Chains A and B, each alone.
Chain A
Amino acid sequence: MPKDTGIGASSKRREDVRFLTGVGNYTDDLSLHAQTHAVMVRSTVAHGRIVKIDTARAAAMPGVLAVFTGEDFAAVGGNPAGWLINSRDGTPMREPKRPVLAHGKVRHVGDAYAAIIAETYAQAKDAAQALSDDTQIEELPAIVDMKAALADASNRVHDEIPDNLCFDWGWIEDNRAAVDAAMQAAPHKVTLELTNNRLVPNAMEPRASIGEYFPGTGDYKLTTTSQNPHLTRLLIAAFVMGIPENKLQVVAPDVGGGFGSKIYHYGEEALVLAAAKRLGRPVRWTAERTESFLSDAHGRDHVTKIELGCTKEGDILAIRTETHANVGAYLSNFSTATPTFLHGTLMSGPYKVPHVYVNVKAVFTNTAPVDAYRGAGRPEATYSLERVIDMMARELGLDPFEVRRRNLLTPDQFPYQSPVGLMYDTGNYQATLDKAVELGDVAGFEARRAASAAKGKLRGMGLSTWIEACGIAPSNLVGILGSRVGLYDAATVRVNATGNISVMVGAHSHGQGHETVFAQVVAEKLGIPESSVEIVHGDTAKIPFGMGSYGSRSLAVCGSAMDRAMDKIIAKGKKIAAHMLEAAEGDISFADGKFSVAGTDKAKTFGEIAFSAYVPHNYPLETLEPGLEETAFYDPANFTYPAGAYICEVEVDPDTGRVEVASFTCADDFGNVMNPMIVEGQVHGGVGQGIGQALLENTTYDENGQLLTGSFMDYAMPRADDVPFYTVDASCATPCTHNPLGVKGCGEAGAIGSPPAVINAVIDALHRGGITHVKHIDMPVSPGRVWQAINA
């Protein structure tokens, strides 16, 4: 019988009502007294030296209040990378300054080098055009292709970086010789070169920021579209502007999706704060969608060669990869962690592979920065691995399902130390694979294939068995690996005098439904109605601290902090109850919202204890402070390891090359599930994005560094008629062993597991249809690419 409240219930989302009635509170919805409007002036060339910016005409235009250029920020700091990566030779990565506004050079189309502040948006826009016309930029050859960038030392994105190489990372370098030897000795070797296509995250709400300055106190306030307001505050305070943290409030109100792109601090946030101070008026900026395409951090963009050594029976012996990862023109905050520790550490997947070595060369180019996008490194690893394993099965004439079963770790092998540095705590990969086979009706495939064939379509089935690592931690380990931040999270549970609860959490919800799910978790543990719990997020003035939401970490890390804070609440409640009930503290138990004396019917409700804490008339004041509010910081002992099996069926039209996803089945292990409805929704969304990557989406720069896919007219977003209903299941749960809720994280799974399942299905369809010369097609498998492959 499904529960109707608390953990495990599909509670309806409380946030929905405001979104469904048009009274949400997104950044651009705010309107402030005396507000002014900022428009960024962006480079129209990919690479150039700024010769002269003549601000006179723009500054004199109607309504213009201020013009900012890179010169205004020359003295302040740069926006840093959050992770220091060392190259194989031990040298640190090259880390060029990322200024608020480009100074000296522009390095990608869309690189902002000036900003106009005006009374109205239209006036600012007009002046921005004038300033663009009055700027002389000496155009330099654009560096777009990664391998060409490394080959030509004469042309540099950053003058101080001679070969455009950020780092050349080996994981694990000490294992390289052993991996090479194992590869050499393997009876069979499979080699695959593939591209993980560059994507634009395209959260539906464009980025927006509003800066305010209060001269009476010297306080700043930034309202911004952020997935983690505390990190934004930290970066602005400690690195970019030097504003004391206690003088800067960062608020991320309702945020319309993020998918990674709103984790990072962007220059516009510093700009609106500096402008607000100079003008003494609020300054607002909202991106046009074209600016999102040009200046949001993009995702993926790996070119990989993967080699797999195996026995003739399909036992994987060794895996070796060489990847070129595009970091774009500047290092976005997580851009160096994404292709390394979020990618190389996943390269053994859910399999028992003795030898794995990963090499990643990160390359600067004259393109927008590239950073974490839903999955972040893990989709790239999964795609490489799941494609090459399918290729192995095909070359050896083995069944791809059986090949995976042969290599999957078995439940008795946990905890498992992977050859690429991770310690998987728990899992049951056979169970999710069995479940996917059942739900996807693999047994009935042949009949469906025949039906497709009767319509002239080629039907194929593709599998991927994937794993990811979520909730990156512990902080001391990631510190050794180069992280410049901690990866804990925090929560304050405030029990009010009347017994209702406010929980201030460091995680940020921008679609995930934390306001609902976190309240379920609190209600379950404290035995109170969900409606008595309010979840507060997205405001540095209200919340102790937090590292925000990304990497499927919210519940695993922040939820655990919340759980720990509740433990403290219950412990204090027992002391209060012991006093009120005249019993020993050790005799008090807490269950179902009541503090009871063991073996008696004496009890106090949670509400009575809360009231007593704030009206402490009958209270142990000599030993206990009044009030009932506790904070916990939680630093996980390990990552969590969600895993699953995805089966995709496609129909390919051999005449046009058009691919249609006929069905998509997901069997996932997310550990314990707090709200099944929301978990399913997360998987749906991830799979939708994964199908988008596999079939539709591609970010294309031409040889001059011009973005050819700079709008929704040119960049193919998945639409309702591009996808089917999905079948999803999360019943094969092996709870995480090291966090109190036993949760693993579900936000990215769909985007990680789905692209290889789609592509494997397409190749399968072609082979079953007799088109056996096609070994691989790069994503997106558009009709044109498929048709060309068929007819090659």
Chain B
Amino acid sequence: MTKVSMTVNGKAVSAEAEGRTLLSAYLREGLGLTGTHIGCDTSQCGACVVHVDGKAVKSCSVFAMDVAGSEVRTIEGMANADGSLSVLQQAFQDNHGLQCGFCTPGMVMASAALLADNPKPTEAEVRHHLEGNICRCTGYHNIVKAVLAASGQDVPAVAAE
């Protein structure tokens, strides 16, 4: 066991980790940040997506030690400073972009990364970008709508194209 330190949601943190400890386990078990979810064991489902130094990564496919010293952002760090939902989170609620909530942290983190790179994505770009995130509840309709809405686009108009 080694002490691994990084910045998570703006706070300097450290916790014990083995060489094999995944970032997802480090966050959940080491730091008690259980908002990041584990939905598979093959890096397919995307429920564990977090941001490492501004990039969306599947935290189940990264060793905690390999990202020591990095800036990590998780779903727990996505709300506004006053605790209110961010524009993207609010769009998910307004558009019913979640049901059971289990894939939601990964969906929000992946979508936030998309919008940071591409502030006005097309419907096809949103769908393509979210290909690595599986949702079993929503049929994706309202997730795609939420992301488009968060980008400030008129959803009915985009949907009609």
Contact, CB under 8 Å: A21 / B76: yes
Contact, CB under 8 Å: B127 / A685: no
What is the predominant secondary structure among interface residues of chain B facing chain A? loop
Contact, CB under 8 Å: A21 / B93: no
In the assembled complex, the Cα of A130 lies from the Cα of B28 at a distance in Å of: 27
Known contacts A725-B144, A726-B141; decide if A256 and B41 are in contact (CB<8 Å): no
Say if the beta carbon of B130 comes within 8 Å of chain A: yes
Known contacts A21-B76, A677-B96, A712-B44; decide if A685 and B139 are in contact (CB<8 Å): yes
Say if the beta carbon of B126 comes within 8 Å of chain A: yes
Known contacts A16-B92, A22-B76; decide if A711 and B141 are in contact (CB<8 Å): no
Among residues of B, the one whose C-beta sits closest to the C-beta of A688 is B139
Residue among A201, A259, A685, A725 with most chain B CB within 10 A = A725
In the assembled complex, the Cα of A31 lies from the Cα of B28 at a distance in Å of: 10
Cβ of B13 to closest chain A Cβ, rounded Å: 15
Contact, CB under 8 Å: B139 / A16: no
Contact, CB under 8 Å: A721 / B127: yes
Cβ of A3 to closest chain B Cβ, rounded Å: 17
User: What is the 8 Å Cβ interface bit string for chain A, positions 709-751, against chain B (1 contact, 0 not)?
Assistant: 0011100011111010110000000000000000000000010
Contact, CB under 8 Å: B133 / A720: yes
Out of A29, A201, A255, A723, name the residue touching B100 (CB < 8 Å). A255
In the assembled complex, the Cα of A687 lies from the Cα of B76 at a distance in Å of: 31
Among residues of B, the one whose C-beta sits closest to the C-beta of A686 is B139
Contact, CB under 8 Å: A684 / B141: yes
Among residues of B, the one whose C-beta sits closest to the C-beta of A202 is B136
Contact, CB under 8 Å: A23 / B76: yes
Contact, CB under 8 Å: A21 / B75: yes
Contact, CB under 8 Å: A720 / B99: no
Q: Which residues 101-155 of B have a CB within 8 angstroms of A?
A: 101-105, 108, 123-124, 126-128, 130-131, 133-145
In the assembled complex, the Cα of A15 lies from the Cα of B137 at a distance in Å of: 15
Among residues of A, the one whose C-beta sits closest to the C-beta of B132 is A719
In the assembled complex, the Cα of A203 lies from the Cα of B47 at a distance in Å of: 12
Q: Which B residues are CB-close (under 8 A) to A12?
A: 93-94, 96
Among residues of B, the one whose C-beta sits closest to the C-beta of A510 is B100
Q: Which A residues are CB-close (under 8 A) to B142?
A: 681, 684
Cβ of B148 to closest chain A Cβ, rounded Å: 10
Say if the beta carbon of B35 comes within 8 Å of chain A: yes
Among residues of A, the one whose C-beta sits closest to the C-beta of B135 is A204
**Interface residues on chain B, number (Cβ under 8 Å):** 59
Say if the beta carbon of B85 comes within 8 Å of chain A: yes
User: What is the 8 Å Cβ interface bit string for chain A, positions 45-56, against chain B (1 contact, 0 not)?
Assistant: 000000000000
Out of B28, B36, B85, B124, name the residue touching A20 (CB < 8 Å). B85
Say if the beta carbon of B69 comes within 8 Å of chain A: no
User: What is the 8 Å Cβ interface bit string for chain B, positions 68-100, against chain A (1 contact, 0 not)?
Assistant: 000000111011000001000100111010111
Among residues of B, the one whose C-beta sits closest to the C-beta of A711 is B42
Known contacts A17-B93, A20-B108; decide if A254 and B38 are in contact (CB<8 Å): no
Q: Which A residues are CB-close (under 8 A) to B33?
A: 22
Say if the beta carbon of A625 comes within 8 Å of chain B: no
Give the interface size class of chain A: 35 or more
Q: Which residues 683-711 of A have a CB within 8 angstroms of B?
A: 684-689, 691, 711
Contact, CB under 8 Å: A21 / B89: yes
Out of A254, A257, A711, name the residue touching B136 (CB < 8 Å). A257
Contact, CB under 8 Å: A687 / B75: no
Q: Which A residues are CB-close (under 8 A) to B79?
A: 21
Known contacts A513-B99, A720-B140; decide if A21 and B44 are in contact (CB<8 Å): no
Cβ of B127 to closest chain A Cβ, rounded Å: 4
Q: Which B residues are CB-close (under 8 A) to A20?
A: 75, 78, 85, 89, 92-93, 98, 101, 104, 108
Contact, CB under 8 Å: A22 / B34: yes
Contact, CB under 8 Å: A290 / B41: yes
Contact, CB under 8 Å: B136 / A204: yes
Among residues of A, the one whose C-beta sits closest to the C-beta of B76 is A22
Say if the beta carbon of A24 comes within 8 Å of chain B: yes
In the assembled complex, the Cα of A16 lies from the Cα of B127 at a distance in Å of: 22
Known contacts A257-B136, A689-B139, A725-B159; decide if A19 and B104 are in contact (CB<8 Å): yes
Contact, CB under 8 Å: B74 / A257: no
Q: Which B residues are CB-close (under 8 A) to A511?
A: 99-101, 137
Say if the beta carbon of B64 comes within 8 Å of chain A: no
In the assembled complex, the Cα of A512 lies from the Cα of B35 at a distance in Å of: 20
Q: Which A residues are CB-close (under 8 A) to B51?
A: none
In the assembled complex, the Cα of A20 lies from the Cα of B79 at a distance in Å of: 9
Say if the beta carbon of B40 comes within 8 Å of chain A: yes
Q: Which B residues are CB-close (under 8 A) to A28?
A: 34, 38
In the assembled complex, the Cα of A726 lies from the Cα of B140 at a distance in Å of: 10
Q: Which A residues are CB-close (under 8 A) to B39?
A: 204-206, 256, 289
Q: Which B residues are CB-close (under 8 A) to A289?
A: 39-42, 45
In the assembled complex, the Cα of A524 lies from the Cα of B121 at a distance in Å of: 40
Q: Which B residues are CB-close (under 8 A) to A719?
A: 130-131, 134, 140
In the assembled complex, the Cα of A535 lies from the Cα of B77 at a distance in Å of: 28
Contact, CB under 8 Å: A15 / B101: yes
Say if the beta carbon of B37 comes within 8 Å of chain A: yes
Contact, CB under 8 Å: A24 / B101: yes
In the assembled complex, the Cα of A719 lies from the Cα of B139 at a distance in Å of: 8
Say if the beta carbon of A26 comes within 8 Å of chain B: yes
Contact, CB under 8 Å: A21 / B78: yes
Say if the beta carbon of A13 comes within 8 Å of chain B: yes
Say if the beta carbon of A67 comes within 8 Å of chain B: no
Known contacts A510-B100, A512-B99; decide if A22 and B105 are in contact (CB<8 Å): yes
Contact, CB under 8 Å: A22 / B35: yes
Say if the beta carbon of B10 comes within 8 Å of chain A: no
In the assembled complex, the Cα of A403 lies from the Cα of B139 at a distance in Å of: 30
Q: Which residues 16-64 of A have a CB within 8 angstroms of B?
A: 16-24, 26, 28-29, 31
Contact, CB under 8 Å: A684 / B42: no
In the assembled complex, the Cα of A719 lies from the Cα of B144 at a distance in Å of: 11
Among residues of A, the one whose C-beta sits closest to the C-beta of B155 is A725
Out of B89, B94, B102, name the residue touching A204 (CB < 8 Å). B102
Known contacts A720-B131, A721-B128; decide if A711 and B102 are in contact (CB<8 Å): no
User: What is the 8 Å Cβ interface bit string for chain A, positions 651-679, against chain B (1 contact, 0 not)?
Assistant: 00000000000000000000000000110
Q: Which residues 255-299 of A have a CB within 8 angstroms of B?
A: 255-257, 259, 288-290
Q: Which B residues are CB-close (under 8 A) to A680?
A: 96
Contact, CB under 8 Å: B131 / A259: no
Contact, CB under 8 Å: A17 / B102: no
Known contacts A17-B85, A204-B100; decide if A22 and B36 are in contact (CB<8 Å): yes
Q: Give 12 pairs: A residue, B residue, CB < 8 Å, sorted on A.
A: A21-B76, A21-B89, A23-B35, A23-B76, A24-B35, A31-B32, A204-B135, A678-B96, A711-B42, A713-B44, A721-B130, A750-B139
Since A13-B96, A510-B100, A723-B141 are in contact, a sample of 10 more A-B pairs with Cβ atoms closer than 8 Å, ordered by chain A residue number, is: A16-B98, A20-B108, A22-B35, A203-B100, A204-B37, A204-B134, A511-B99, A512-B99, A687-B139, A711-B40
Q: List B residues at the A interface (Cβ < 8 Å).
A: 18, 20, 28-29, 32-42, 44-45, 47, 74-76, 78-79, 85, 89, 92-94, 96, 98-105, 108, 123-124, 126-128, 130-131, 133-145, 159
The 4 A-B pairs with the shortest beta carbon distances in the complex, nearest first, are A22-B35, A688-B139, A256-B102, A19-B101
Q: List A residues at the B interface (Cβ < 8 Å).
A: 12-13, 15-24, 26, 28-29, 31, 122, 201-206, 254-257, 259, 288-290, 510-513, 677-678, 680-681, 684-689, 691, 711-713, 717-721, 723, 725-726, 750
